[in-house]
Amino acid sequence: MPLLGAIADDFTGATDLATNLVARGMRTVVTLGVPSPADLPEAADLDAVVIAVKIRTTEVEEAVTTARAALRTLRDLGCERIYDKYCSTFDSTPQGNIGPIIDALLADLDAPGTVVVPAFPDTGRTVYQGRLFVGTELLEDSSMRHHPLTPMTDSRVRRLLEPQTRHAVGELAHPIVRRGAEAVREALESEFAAGRPLVVLDAVDEDDLRTIAEATRDLPLITGGSGLALGLPQPASSALAARQAESIPVVDGHRAVLAGSASAASRAQVAAGRELLPWRKLDLAALRADTTAEVDSIVEWARARWAEDPQRPVLVYAVDSLADIEPPRPDGGEPASALIERALGQCAAAFFEHGMRQLVVAGGETSGTVLTALDVTRLRIGAPLSPGVSWAAGTTGDGDVVNLALKSGNFGDEDIFTSSWERLA
């Protein structure tokens, strides 16, 4: 019976979290959308179930309703603890959705309080003196300041969270975390008793995450980025469990990279990929004129490249630089982002029809669109490629298997589009 049940607010976030759970030796499955318990007959043999739902930027009411439905399923499966996973850069607006979801889960679990731990030090996300850093920059000074959906213009996590929640928000500074799990546990109890049930904790390395995980082992709900999972205790016989957890089927077939992300990391990865891979950049004007014709042209181009070299990946991407990002259309027409996602989803489905079985996808929204287009309903996570990124085996509604590496825009090594294939074995 699974010990841990997790709710992730987008698809790449779910695989990011599952990657870290697998790294802890936990046999983990990701379901795309809220399943029924009957959809997971293997649950008794798992250590964790992660439910991936696209609720990061949906309307607050829809996000809360979906999160509560996921919670009910996880509890029906017998999950003893719940992990609410959001982005390590705290992607949200003053309306939500992080705060309203935490509020709803706390209420449904009748929990006294919880922690707020976006830190993921392995990817440069740390929290110090209550402020979130991306590498050496404050969040407000990072590229996230220019995010088209959730521009992050403040680094104080408490100030970001307070407008979103009906609860008071406390903070625990780094010296308390460094004093150990018992000190953190006592400080949390004091915060909860003082009427501050949401507490932001400093964390700058994995030792801090282990301390926080130990201090919160009796809480029914923990919340944070995926980094907190690296502090969780390993299950019994962890070496064997780790080997079992990382074992996924590998399917032979053509290879492709689909990149819809405009993040700085993804743009650098595209630039590196263009040096070694055949590439095609999406033409927005052509897509607006006739999406079907342009997608068909891309598919025929890819098939020609595969005919030349069946194992060479093709790269299809959207953005070279920030200059490629269109402002909102004054005529109210379809935003470029929506057009790009739709086109990449159609490419994925057509590529699959023509034998593509190994795919790297860059961007959270792109990953969600691609998985939907491929009708992938669950993922089994394999060995990590880099912090927060792993190969997975995706199962479609028809029972077909496709290998996927889904990466959040800002994650992954610069050469991930070219180096990841050798790890799929």
Dihedral angle, C-alpha 19, 234, 209, 380, nearest 10 °: 10
User: 145 and 23, same structural domain?
Assistant: yes
The DSSP 8-state label assigned to residue 278 in this structure reads -
The domain boundary, picked from 201, 226, 245, lies at 245
User: 207 and 91, same structural domain?
Assistant: yes
Q: Is the dihedral of CA 50, 200, 55, 66 positive or negative?
A: positive
The CATH number covering residue 296 comes to 3.40.980.20
User: 188 and 264, same structural domain?
Assistant: no
- CB contact set of 8 (below 8 Å; sequence gap of 6+): 14, 16, 17, 30, 50, 51, 52, 53, 85
User: 256 and 203, same structural domain?
Assistant: no
Report helix angle 206-215 to 181-193, nearest 10: 60
pLDDT in tens, the chain (425 residues): 468 999 999 888 898 899 899 888 888 899 999 998 888 888 888 899 999 998 999 999 999 999 999 999 999 999 989 999 999 999 999 999 999 999 999 999 999 999 999 999 999 999 999 999 999 999 999 988 888 789 999 999 999 999 999 999 999 999 999 999 999 999 999 999 999 999 999 999 999 999 999 999 999 999 999 999 999 988 865 454 455 556 789 999 999 999 998 888 899 999 999 999 999 999 999 999 999 999 999 999 999 999 999 999 999 999 988 777 766 666 667 888 889 999 999 999 999 999 999 999 998 889 989 999 999 999 988 878 888 888 999 999 999 999 999 998 888 899 999 999 988 86
User: 290 and 256, same structural domain?
Assistant: yes
Amino acid 1: pLDDT: 47
User: 321 and 226, same structural domain?
Assistant: no
Full-model pTM: 0.83
Amino acid 392: pLDDT: 92
User: 269 and 189, same structural domain?
Assistant: no
The domain boundary, picked from 216, 245, 274, lies at 245
User: 93 and 131, same structural domain?
Assistant: yes
The domain boundary, picked from 245, 276, 302, lies at 245
User: 154 and 16, same structural domain?
Assistant: yes
Backbone angles phi, psi at 110, to 5 degrees: 50, 45
d(CA 135, CA 89): 11
Amino acid 124: pLDDT: 93
Q: Based on the structure, what is the number of domains in the chain?
A: 2
Residue that is written with structure tokens 């060479």 in the block: 312
Amino acid 330: pLDDT: 63
Single-letter residue type at 354: H
Q: Which residue range is the domain that position 206 belongs to?
A: 4-245
The CATH number covering residue 159 comes to 3.40.50.10840
User: 308 and 231, same structural domain?
Assistant: no
d(CA 401, CA 378): 10
Q: Is the dihedral of CA 296, 298, 301, 305 positive or negative?
A: negative
User: 385 and 410, same structural domain?
Assistant: yes
